[in-house]
Structure formats: C-alpha cells, structure tokens
Amino acid sequence: MQLTAEQTALLETVRSFAQREIKPIVHTYEAEDRYPSEIVEKMQELGLFGLNIAPEYGGAGVDTVTYALVFEELSAVWMSLAGILGTHGIMAYVLQRFGTEEQKRRLLPRMASGELRGGLGLTEPDAGSDVQNLKTTAVRQGDRYVLNGQKMFITNSRYGSGLLVLARTNPLADKPSHGMSAFIVEHDEQTPGYIVRRPIHKLGYKGVETCELSFEDLQVPQENLVGGEEGHGFAQVMSGLEVGRINVAARAVGVARAAFEEAVRYAQQRQTFGQPIAQHQAIQLLLADMYTQLSAARHLYIDAAEKKDRGQRADLEAGMAKLFASEMCGKVTLDAMRIHGGYGYTTDFNVERYYRDAPLMIIGEGTNEIQRTVIARQLLQRYRV
C-alpha cells in the first residue's frame, strides 16, 4: 500500500523513538522482567495512548490501518510495549464507539493522555475462548453495581488504572451473550474489592505484567456501565476484539520482520566452507519463504484494517489475519534461529527472544483453533448451499 505523508511521518517518529529509547534497554528489562515505567511515560508524552481516540477527546484519531502499522513498528523492537498499548486501545475503541457522550467526555481525554491506562478484563480461569461461560457477576444496588468474580491473564491490571470488564448482569437471559454488560473499572492499589492475586510468570512477553485478579464486592458507579444499558456488553467487547486481533497480527508481523532482518544480515556475515552462508541454497530457500510469508501476513492485516475503517464487519478478515500472521511468526522466528545456528539459541542474540514471544500471538486474543472455527462459520454462511 502507498502510505500518506502523515502516515510516513508518524511511523518514522515511532521507529526513531523505538530505536533511540527502547532498543538500548530491551535486553536488561527483558532479562529482569521489569516493567518499563520510564518508557511508558515517554509513550504518554509521544501521544501513543491516544492514537485511536478522536481529536475532540484529546487523541490523534488515526485510522485502524495506521494504528496497526504502529503496532508493527513497536513490536519489531520490543513486542511487550505493543501489549501495554493494545488492551488500552481496545478499551478506548469500545468506549468511543459504544459509550454515552458523558462517558466519552469524562474518560477518553484521560485515556488519550495516558493518565487512565486501560486493559481488558475478559478471560477467566474457566472461560478463556468460551467467553459466554464467564462467571463474573455484576449486581445492581442503588446507583452502583457490585462485581464479584475472577479474571485471568490480565494485561495492565497492576500498573494500569482502568479495565474494561465484561460481567454477567442477567443470568436468566434467553441467550448467555444477552445477559452480559461491560463496565469501566477505575482502580488503584487502594481500591476496595480490586485484588491482584498474583503475577503470572511467562515464557516470553516479559516486562508487561500479566496477573490473576479477584473482584470481591467491587463497587462500580452506574455511570460506568458502557452505553448506559445492560445486555450489550458481549457485542461491544467482540467488536473491540476485531481491532485487537488486527493488532495482534501486526505485532506478529513486527516480531517476524525483526527476526527476518537479523537472519538475512547474519547470513551474509557468517561464513562456512569458504563463503557466506547466504550463498548456500538451503539458507536462500529459508529466506525466500520467510519474506514471502511475512509480506502475505502484512497484506492480510492491512486488508482487515481497511475493512474495519469502512465500518464493515471484519471478524472473518481479522481472524484470518491473526491466524496466518501468528502461525507465520512462529515459523519465521524458528527459521531465524536455525539460520543463526548455535548462536541463535543463546541470549547474546535477539532471535531467542523473538522465538519466545511468538507463541503469545498464537494463543492470545482467542486461540488459533477458535480463529479457525470463526473463519469456518463465516465461510459456511457465505457459501451456503
């Protein structure tokens, strides 16, 4: 695709920021699994938390394509930072599309500045991909809702200050999805009933916190019910996940791109049998496949983002982009490690980190098995006999 001058300028700003501020500290922060508070503050100053928020609410108002391209740029240096931005962006999208005008004016400017950094409180111990089976409840008591339940694998749950939480408000609804509502939960360390049970230690995706939460009689003001009406939360969150899956696909492309670029450089420097290994046909075949798959994945996520920008339903396209890009990322990062040989298995090189980060995209934002199911259902409707 042909980028506009505005897109090119924004991506160059993000690329320069990542190379200057993030790249020098990645190894240290990643090895220590340290939350990058200083980098997050600089991301706030750069306006990254308000990218997909309209200018009238203090944001930049970029389109979905541009937003996804930013995710690719960040992930090419350190994917964890895209994670900090990702669930915040889903919360902002849902609030901006489905929230009341009062909610938008009260919350979105704080989200755009990064003062209110959001996340998505969706997954539970017994309800991951099976969202309709969630157990968290929200009971109306006067001008408040009281939330009880557990959430699992929640990004931005400790160092953030807001969560978009999906909870069951009507257990007797005709369909489980019709009995769910979405809430904006503002929190800090002193919020009664908001309990961070434990951090969850992970193979990759270091630096960003992923926690298990409990809500114990957590009180949420009535005015923080998204849209002001019960029963619409499932559809609201699912629409947000279309954006999330596009961004996960972009993350996968960013990580794979970084792995490919390091592999193609290394292949031209490393010599065996009197010549660079890039001259060996076995290496050339790997590089050709890596770049072809990488380019195809980028086209898929851009196609999904363009459809989303046109206001059309994009769950099929987002699912295909997420599925293909994440599987591609897993293969490309492994192939990059193969090209590096023994060095690729050490922490002296970045490719082992890319390889550890890749499975998150396969599992997160709806497993790829679920993506295949979503894709198949859409296809059966489209090609109904």
pLDDT tens for each residue of the chain, 385 residues long = 789 999 999 999 999 999 999 999 999 999 999 999 999 999 999 999 999 999 999 999 999 999 999 999 999 999 999 999 999 999 999 999 999 999 999 999 999 999 999 999 999 998 877 888 899 999 999 999 999 999 999 999 999 999 999 999 999 999 999 999 999 999 998 999 999 999 999 999 999 999 999 999 999 999 999 999 999 999 999 999 999 999 999 999 999 999 999 999 999 999 999 999 999 999 999 999 999 999 999 999 999 999 999 999 899 999 999 999 999 999 999 999 999 999 999 999 999 999 999 999 999 988 999 999 989 999 999 999 9
pLDDT value, residue 123: 95
Could you give the CA distance from residue 312 to residue 335 in angstroms, rounded to a whole number? 36
CA neighbor of 120 nearest in space, from 156, 85, 145: 156
Any idea what DSSP says for residue 180? E
CA neighbor of 116 nearest in space, from 146, 95, 145: 95
* Coil, strand or helix at 158: coil
Q: What fold characterizes domain 120-231?
A: Butyryl-CoA Dehydrogenase, subunit A; domain 2 (2.40.110)
pLDDT value, residue 257: 98
Domain ranges of the chain: 5-113, 120-231, 235-382
pLDDT value, residue 266: 98
The residues near 40 (Cβ < 8 Å, ≥ 6 apart) are 84, 114, 117, 159
pLDDT value, residue 268: 98
pLDDT value, residue 130: 81
Tokens found for residue 162: 């807001």
* Residue among 30, 216, 365, 369 flagged as catalytic: 365
CA neighbor of 121 nearest in space, from 86, 91, 89, 95: 91
pLDDT value, residue 189: 82
pLDDT value, residue 2: 86
CATH code for residues 235-382:
1.20.140.10
Is there a catalytic annotation at residue 216? Answer: no
Cα Dmax for the chain:
79
CATH code for residues 5-113:
1.10.540.10
pLDDT value, residue 1: 77
Question: How far lies 197's CA from each of 25, 151, 182, 219, 318, in Å?
Answer: 29, 10, 22, 18, 33
